[in-house]
Amino acid sequence: MTSNTWRFELRPGRGKPGPGEAGGDDRLRGVTRRLTARRSERHRGEPWRDWAAIGLLIHAQMLTVAVLDPGWPWLLLAALPLSLTFATGTLTILHDAGHRRFSRRTWPNVWAVQTAIPLGFFVQHWTLKHRVHHRSSQVYPLDEATRNTTIRMHPGVERRPHHRYQHLYAWFLYALVWVGELHSQLTYVRKGNVPGVEVPPFRVRLGQWLFEKSFWALVVSPYAVLLGLGRFTLYFLVAMSLSAVQAAIVLVVGHINEGLYAPSEQPAPRDWSRHLVATTASFSTRSLPMRWLTGGMTHHLAHHLKPVAPRHQLPELHTTVVAKVVRDSGLPLVEYPTLTSATISHYRRLRELGRTDGGPPVVTGPTPGRPASVPRPRSAASSERAVRST
C-alpha cells in the first residue's frame, strides 16, 4: 500500500518549478527526503502520545460518571463530551492502528485501540478494509463505502426511489454507523469478504473476533458494574451514536463531495497520484485544533499520498509535495476553508446522487493509444464553490 504512494512523491531534480517556486527547491528536497524515509520510520512517539492523552480523557469521563452516578438528564448531557472524545479517538487511534503506526506487530495496535477507545472495534478486520481503501480509494465496488445501497454514495450504485431523500435522512443514519460496522464484522467472520487482500481462514477470523470482543468487554465491564448495566448502556450508546455522526462526517466529506470523481476501475500505477487528486478533498488545512481533533483528516489528500506521515508534517507536505503532485496532474485541488463548508457541499453532492445518475462512473486509468484523462463530472460547475489552491 505505502509503496504505491511513494511512486508519486517528488524526487529532487524531477519536474519543472512552478510560479513562485524559485529558491524553494532546497526546502522541497528537504521535505521529500523526510517523507521518503524507510517505511519502518513511522514516528512511533506521536501515536503513543495521542493514545495516552485521548485514552486518559475517555476513561476519566467514564469513571467520573460511574462514580458520581448522576440523574438521567445529567447522564445524557455527560454523553456529549464523551462523544467528541470518542470521535477524536476513532479518527486518531483507530486510524493509526490501521496503518500499524503503534508497532509492526498486530497485538500492540489491537491493545492500543481496545484500551483507549473501547467502542467494540474489530481492529484486525478494520485494518484490512482500510488497506483496500488506500489501494482502491472510491473505486466501485472495491472500496466498501461505494457499495452502500441505503445511502447512494457512488454513481455505480443503482438509484432507487428512497435515494431522492438521502440528503435529508443520511445524517440520522450516520449515527448508526456502528450498527453497519458490527454487521460488516460478522459478515467478515463468516465469509472473509475483503476484496483484494489475503484473509485468514474462518477459525482464525472467529478467534480474532472473539478475542477482541472479550478484550473490549473486560475494559468496559467495571464502568457497567459501577453505574449499572442499564444506565451504562444508555450512556454508552448515546455517546457512541453521537461520535459516529462526527467521525462519519469528517470521513465522507473527504471523498463524497462536489468536484470529486467517481472511478469504476483501479488506476494504472502511473496514474495513481492523479487518481488521488481526483477523488480526495481537504478542509481547514490552516487550523491546528481541527487537525488534532480529526486525526489529520483535514489534510486528507496529503494523508493518502503518504499514509504514515506524522500529523505535524501534514501542513508542510500539503504546501510542497502535494502542491507539486496537484500541479502535475492538471486537475484542481478541491479544498474547503472549513468543515462546515465541506459538509454543506457534501449535502449537495448527496442530493445530486439521489436525484440524478450523478454522471457515469469515471475511469481514471489510461486509455490505450492516448494520454490518460479524467472527464469532468456533472457537478463540476457547483464545485467552483470549493476553495482551490496549489
Largest CA distance in the chain: 71
**DSSP type of residue 158:** P
Amino acid at residue number 11: R
C-alpha cell of residue 267 = 488506476
CA angle 160, 164, 169 (to 5 degrees): 110
Residues 176, 139: Cα–Cα separation, whole Å: 24
CA angle 100, 116, 280 (to 5 degrees): 50
Q: Is 205 exposed, middle or buried (0-12, 13-18, 19+ CB in 10 A)?
A: buried
Alpha-carbon distances of 287 from 224, 265, 295, 310, rounded to whole Å: 37, 34, 12, 16
β-strand partners of 263 = 362
Q: Find, among 8, 3, 92, the residue nearest to 280 by Cα.
A: 8
Residues 38, 82: Cα–Cα separation, whole Å: 37
- What confidence score (pLDDT) does residue 210 get? 98
- What confidence score (pLDDT) does residue 27 get? 53
* List of residues 6+ apart from 9 with CB closer than 8 A: 32, 35, 36, 305, 306, 321
- What confidence score (pLDDT) does residue 358 get? 65
- What confidence score (pLDDT) does residue 28 get? 53
- What confidence score (pLDDT) does residue 326 get? 96
- What confidence score (pLDDT) does residue 360 get? 44
Residues 213, 155: Cα–Cα separation, whole Å: 36
Kindly give the parts of the chain with pLDDT less than 50.
1-24, 35-40, 360-390
Q: Is 236 exposed, middle or buried (0-12, 13-18, 19+ CB in 10 A)?
A: buried
Sign of CA dihedral 280, 285, 288, 293: negative
Sign of CA dihedral 229, 80, 220, 200: positive
Q: Find, among 42, 35, 36, the residue nearest to 100 by Cα.
A: 42
